Amino acid sequence: MITLDHFYLVLGAMLALMAFMSLRDRHNPRRYSTALFWGLYALVYLAGEQMAPALAGLLMVVMALIAGFGGVSLGKYETLPEGERRASAKRLGHWLFLPALLIPVTTMIGATLLADVRIGALPLLEPKHLTLVSMGCGSLLALAAACLLTRTTPMQGMRESRRLLDAMGWAVVLPHMLAVLGLLFAEAGLGKAVAHVTTSYINMDSRLVAVAVYCVGMALFTIVMGNGFAAFPVMAGGVGIPILVGVYHANPAVMAATGMFSAYCGTLMTPMAANFNIVPAALLDLPDKNAVVKAQIPTALPLLAANIILLYFLMNQ
């Protein structure tokens, strides 16, 4: 059976290789700290299940300190000359999109047609994480297809992965850490604190007010924490479940789905969602690092208002 743990090991091995490549890169002014950063992240994937929670937390703190003090830096990358890349792109044409398209296609096939396929007594793909496992298989197929199309080796793919990871820097780890932060907030009882504050200072007798508080709260917490998955347990535990479901008998599925859409409106408006909003600005060399956020706000606000209206009218469906 192909499980999600297999892909954790693959990702950990890739990160470990990138850490080794960074360590050997003498053109990187901070090669030791850069290698340590990616090496610690690799360790989380390779041995996270065997680690004590306190040790895993300590590794995250060390990684945050390395990134905070500017320890993750760019190096030198073995890329093809500009002329060769243009000639290859002209030769391949639209076939260049094939590896990227293989990922969603394989994910859909795995999550639907292969869902019930079994080898002996075991399913082919882990049922608990069917979509993620299918996406992992699609990613490996995409790498193989890219190597065949471009007539290069998987090692060149690792070099390009390292170049892209270094360009994104510490921001690539931010969603992981913020998701954990949301769980910590939930365990610490922040949802109960939110429920106490909202019910004490806001009149929840109006269904429209309750819906607006829930949706706007999802967006605001996402703006602060940079991750809708971190905001969801807080607002769902504070307003969604006790008030919308408990008092106004909302459909939990509609409440959860619309709440996440509202959280994504917050994602569009925050630099804390660095992998969506700051990394593209850095990769495109935009003079204003917040240019993506500024361009998205006129879209995010009407969408948030639309979510409030939709939840108000559809919550009991």
List per-residue pLDDT tens for the chain, 317 residues long: 899 999 999 999 999 999 999 998 888 888 999 999 999 999 999 998 888 888 888 988 899 899 888 888 888 877 767 777 788 778 888 888 899 899 999 999 999 999 888 888 888 899 999 999 999 999 999 999 999 988 888 888 888 888 888 877 777 787 777 767 767 776 777 767 777 777 778 888 899 999 999 999 999 988 987 778 778 888 888 899 999 999 999 999 999 999 999 999 999 999 887 778 877 777 677 788 888 999 999 999 999 999 999 999 999 87
**Beta strands at 118-119 and 122-123: parallel, antiparallel or unpaired:** antiparallel
Identify the helix (H) or strand (E) that includes residue 143: helix 130-150
**Do 125 and 117 form a contact (C-beta atoms < 8 A)?**
yes
Domain layout of the chain by residue ranges:
82-152, 189-314
Q: At what angle do helices 53-68 and 174-187 cross, to 10 degrees?
A: 130
**Do 219 and 270 form a contact (C-beta atoms < 8 A)?**
no
Angle, vertex CA 253, rays to CA 252 and CA 255, nearest 5: 60
